[in-house]
Amino acid sequence: MLAFQILIDGFAISALYALGATGFTLIFGVSGVLNLSHGAIMVLAAVAAWAAASVLHMDTYSGALVGVAVALVAALVTYYVVVQPLQKSTRIPNEEKEIFVLTGTLLWGIMIQELIAYFFTNNAKTVLPIVEGVIDIFGVRTPKNEIFTAAVCCLVIGLLWLLVNRTRTGKAVLAASMNPRGVTLLGLELTNIYIVVWAIYGILAGIAGVLLGMFLGVSSYSVGPLTASAFSIVVLGGLGSVSGSLIAAFVVGYLETLTAYLVSPAYRTIPALLLLVIVMYVRPQGLLGRR
């Protein structure tokens, strides 16, 4: 009974983590950007979906779409307003650009967080679930929304895999992550690829944010922890490795769920962080990292 409970809850939370971390790692893999405004964009999506439904009285589906659309716009704005100007700047030495982008996205995330708190208060918001009610799985009373969350996450990750491996655009993205110079030599504009990646990222973060809002709820306080959890999952899996992130998301998700059920909910995040420290010692490149 408890085993099934852990299996089901752990799967839903892990799938959500995986979706959140995939976009994050994709951007790093392709353009070398660690986007520290990640948590803020996810929260923004959830709050937008909440506001569309609760303030503007849209239906649940439209609300969710608004949330994803807002995240897409926010991701593109992040790229055009924060990342691109720093990358193109001639006054910042090349070797310092990464740290500038890191700081820039961090500050950008804090700005979004403060704006959310200012306009919508720092109280938690929850998005109305698309499917309501519960069903019984092996004696575990499971909210249908939890199954929906897991299904959507798997579906979206599957679609992403198809996009990257089966379409021309996807192959260009993949090529850019392996050898940016080679891609430009083939006559492809690197900037265009970056825009595609940021757009994909925005949609992924948006879906993850809205689903998180339905599943657990978010507040402006969630910004930091969400960025941190995506960051640690990605580091654990190997920076830039999508499959590594997926595995790491499930390792972290199940480790947290096991701790919450078997030890205490208060210590939920501790074992995963300890694991991260151990991996850093014995395998600094992460589980599936190439470098």
Partner 1 sequence: MKRTSKSPVFWSLPTLLGATALGLLATSGHALAADPIKIGVIAEAQAIAGASIPQAAQMAADEINAKGGVDGRKIEIITYDNHSSSADSVRAFQRAVNEDKVNIVISSYISEVVLALEPWASRLKTPFITPGAASNEISKSVHNDYEKNKYTFHGYLTSAALALSVCDAAKELLVEQKHMKTAVIMSEDAAWTTPLDIGYEECLPKIGLKVLDHIRFSPDTTDFTPIFNKIEGAKPDVIITGISHVGVQPTVQWKNQQVPIPMLGISSQATNSTFGADTNGAAEGVLYQGVSGPDVPVTPKSLPFTQGFKAKFGNFPSYAGYTSYDEVYYIADAVKRAGSTDADKLVAALENTDWEGTIGRIQFYGKEDQFTHSIKYGKGLITGLMLQWQDGKQVAVWPKEVAKGQLKFPSFIKVTSN
Closer by beta carbon to partner 1, 98 or else 114: 114
Select from 15, 48, 176, 260 the one that contacts partner 1 (CB under 8 A): 260
CB of 22 to partner 1, least distance (A): 20
Least distance (Å) from partner 1 to the CB of residue 135? 11
Q: Give least dist CB 247 to partner 1, A.
A: 21
Distance (Å, rounded) from C-alpha 271 to C-alpha 230?
A: 16
Which lies closer to partner 1 via its Cβ, residue 80 or residue 267? 267
Give residues 210-229 in contact with partner 1 (rule: CB under 8 A).
Answer: 216-217, 219-222, 225
Which CB, 262 or 282, lies closer to partner 1? 262
Which one of residues 103, 123, 165, 192 is an interface residue with partner 1 (CB under 8 A)? 123
Closest by CA to 18, choosing from 242, 283, 238, is: 242
Contact 79, 195 (CB under 8 A): yes
Cβ at position 82, least distance to partner 1 in Å: 23
Residues 162-191 that bind partner 1 (CB under 8 A): none
Least CB distance from residue 167 to partner 1, whole Å?
36
C-alpha 56: how far from chain center: 26
Q: Which stretch binds partner 1 (CB under 8 A): 90-98, 104-112, 118-126, 164-172?
A: 118-126
Question: Segment contacting partner 1 (CB under 8 A): 50-58, 70-78, 167-175, 179-187?
Answer: 50-58
State both tokens at 240: 């830039």
Per rule CB under 8 A, is residue 230 in the interface with partner 1?
no
Q: Which residues of 7-18 are buried (b: 16+ CB within 10 A; e: fewer)?
A: ebbbbbbbbbbb
The count of residues interacting with partner 1 (CB under 8 A) is 35
